[in-house]
Amino acid sequence: MKHLASIATAAALLAPTFARAGDPATIIETPEQQKERMAWWHEAKFGMFIHWGIYSVVGGQYKGKELPNSAEWMMCRGKIPIAEYSKYAEQFNPTKFDADNFVKMAKDAGMKYMVITAKHHDGFAMFDSCWGEYDVVDATPFGRDIMKELSRACYEQGLRFGFYYSQAQDWHHPGGFGNNWDKSLKKVSSDVYANEKVIPEVEQLLTEYGPISILWWDTPRNMSPEAFAGIYSLKSLQPGIITNDRLGKDIPGDHKTFERHIPDRGPVDKAWEVCMPISGSWGYKKIDTDFKSTTTLIRNLADIASKGGNYLLNVSPTGEGVILPQAQERLKQIGEWMRVNSDSIYGTTGSPFKKLDFGRCTKKQYAKGTTLYFHVFDWPADGKLVIPGLKNEIKQAYLLDGWKPLETTQDETGTTITVPKDAPDAINSVITVQVAGKLEVEQSGIVQNQDGSVDLPAADAYIHNNEGSQDAALQDRGDEPDNIGKWTDKEATVEWDFKLTQPGTFDVIANIALEDDSALTFTVNGETVKTKVKATGGYGSYTEQTLGSFSTTAEGNYNIRLKPDAKNWKPVNVRGLKLITK
């Protein structure tokens, strides 16, 4: 029987002194040290996410009704009282669970790491929690520590292991965020919750479960600086650990998280990861048959790797402890593709090409050359694969499947590879091209007009929105020009790449519509200009407004980025920018 301090006692003892408290800013690391710590993660590229909890017993159904959102949100979406929801623990008995089989399934699929929900928003611990008895060991007939078994299995089979932990939302604890429906819950401060439950549980996970490589936070809320510091400082218990960006607003973590959405282009100079369920729901949901095809999953992996990111693909075990056959089948098929083509994924970096109509590209750079991996989704019917803008001398080209040599020719437009009539793989055939010397790629795209102007339409923008939300998304307007619309997210940014052949001084003119005065910045070549935009009378009333100017002294490739001024931001719609020489 574990000791559970009463809320009253905890509140009385809490003088805001947090376990292991410390300013996150004091945890200092050089860029070289961070690069070394993150090296395995960048090499790995592909991991398994697992959402599993007592909600899996009923598969998202409550009183015969289907609840919206993913199954792990059912307590919130159904506004289920704690006393009622807790009874699911009495039914949780996943006797078919086999940790070794789970890990083998991930490993056979080509995955290099695993992250599982140690505690989700419902507050239930899938480990033998030191906080109390609301956990898989004490509250269920199963009575086994699932986290300990998976940690052991990952260690024995050579996979990195990590925990998802919901540090802010907790619908069971009176100090956790999110539960506004159960009136029996006698609320206390989030500081009590952090000091009493979060910090002890996370400390336990980082000290009693072997080597932990990842701590994956979720749904940040405005906790106190002392709480953030106490939680964040726990990472020192596992010095090599990697964390994501969802602990708190001012704690960026080691990588950015995109949920369910692959960005048009990965963040510059920032590690990032796409987390995505293999079906529609994160947790097991009985009616969820929306499984992504193997084609989509393999091409997603190549797409993400080509932009420099990692792919964390989620599966959702049932209440019996099995991964559904549809997911198992897809994982097996991904594994079959990876056994042939994994060199084109592991340890690669992003594509040097802005766009390839036939597919994607990953690369590995060496001291005297580069290996390019062309992921061909659409096999050329004429037997000619054209690589636009590739100027380097080709040392050799071959199919990765079978290492069959391929002939290449080069001219001023790029490189042409002669390929067999039939694609080796119907989903993604990989062609390996080794080139000598420093990589030289002449980019196509937006080029300066003869009159010196540059047109930057919405359709050619790279949109970086918050985890794939529809804020700041490209809107297809049919006969009218497309626009970047519903730009309500203060964190979203939009950027364009372009080439200048006539350097000079340029006015930046936005074709913009907005209901209220707003403010933003634009950045070119590292220089940022703050500007204000005036209301136009509505989101359909477009006017041209000059945002400011910038100067260049050399021709070449450039980038311009629009970013909201968070303190003065009001939503805008943007059809594009135009650069006019002064």
pLDDT in tens, 158-172: 999 999 999 999 999
Least confident of 38-42, 402-406, 469-473, 537-541: 469-473
For residue 410, the surrounding DSSP H or E stretch is: strand 407-411
Percent of the chain scored above 70 by pLDDT? 94
pLDDT of residue 190: 97
Q: Write out the two tokens for 317.
A: 């075990």
Q: What is the mean pLDDT of the segment spanning 258-277?
A: 90
Would you give the DSSP letter of residue 125?
B
CA distance 429 to 427: 7
Rounded Cα gap, residues 540 and 573, in angstroms: 8
* 64 vs 28, residue with greater confidence: 64
- The band of 18, judged by pLDDT with boundaries at 50, 70 and 90, is very low
Instruction: Locate 406 and state its tokens.
Output: 């391929």
pLDDT at 84 over 50: yes
Backbone angles phi, psi at 496, to 5 degrees: -130, 145
Q: Are 242 and 38 in contact (CB under 8 A)?
A: yes
- Tokens representing 444 are 């196509």
Q: Could you give phi then psi for residue 25, rounded to 5 degrees?
A: -65, -20
pLDDT tens sequence across 211-247: 999 999 999 999 999 999 999 999 999 989 999 999 9
Answer whether residue 539 shows pLDDT above 80. Answer: yes
Q: Please list the residues that pair with 546 across neighbouring strands.
A: 509
Summarize the confidence of residues 563-572 as an average pLDDT.
Answer: 94
pLDDT score of 473 = 79
Q: Is the pLDDT at 270 greater than 80, yes or no?
A: yes
Instruction: Note the pLDDT of residue 17.
Output: 42
HSE toward the beta carbon, residue 55, CA cutoff 13 A: 35
Q: Are 429 and 401 in contact (CB under 8 A)?
A: yes
What whole-number distance in Å separates Cα of residue 569 and Cα of residue 575? Answer: 18
Mean pLDDT calculated for residue range 138-155: 98
Nearest-Å Rg of the Cα atoms of the chain is 26
User: To the nearest whole percent, how much of the chain has pLDDT over 90?
Assistant: 83
Per-residue model confidence (pLDDT) at position 19: 45
According to the model, what pLDDT value does residue 469 have?
57
Residue 102: which pLDDT band, with cuts at 50, 70 and 90?
very high
Among 525, 509, 511, 498, residue whose Cα is nearest residue 572: 511
Separation between Cα atoms, residue 382 and residue 538, nearest integer Å: 50
The SS3 call for residue 198 is: helix
* Strand (E) or helix (H) holding 115: strand 113-119
Which residue segments constitute the domains of the chain, with CATH numbers given?
Answer: 7-344 (3.20.20.80), 359-436 (2.60.40.1180), 454-581 (2.60.120.260)
Q: Annotate 245-275 with DSSP letters as a single string.
A: S-SBTTB--SBEEEES---SSPPTTS-EEEE
- SS3 label, residue 234: helix
Kindly state the tokens that stand for 120: 């989700």
Across 114-128, 139-153, 254-268, 278-292, least confident range:
254-268
Mean of the per-residue pLDDT values of the chain: 92
Ordered strands of the 429-436 beta sheet:
359-366, 369-376, 429-436, 394-399
CA distance 211 to 201: 16
CA distance 535 to 245: 34
The partner residues of 248 in beta bridges, in order of sequence, read: 251
Q: What is the pLDDT of residues 348-392, one digit of tens each?
A: 999 999 889 999 999 999 999 999 999 999 999 999 999 999 999
**Calpha distance 320→148 (Å, rounded):** 18
pLDDT surpassing 50 at residue 9: no
Q: Look at residue 24 and tell me whether its pLDDT is greater than 90.
A: no
Look at residue 2 in the predicted model and tell me its pLDDT: 55
| Alpha-carbon gap, residue 446 to 444, rounded angstroms | 7
What letter represents residue 483's amino acid? N
Q: Is 129 exposed, middle or buried (0-12, 13-18, 19+ CB in 10 A)?
A: buried
The band of 467, judged by pLDDT with boundaries at 50, 70 and 90, is: low
Give me the pLDDT at residue 13, please.
31
pLDDT of residue 103 exceeding 90, the answer is yes
Using the structure block, give the residue that is written with the tokens 């047109």: 455
pLDDT band at 27 (very low <50, low <70, confident <90, very high): low
Q: What are phi and psi of 375, to 5 degrees?
A: -90, 105
What mean pLDDT comes out for the span 287-302?
97
Please say if the pLDDT value at position 28 is more than 80: no
Q: Are 443 and 557 in contact (CB under 8 A)?
A: yes
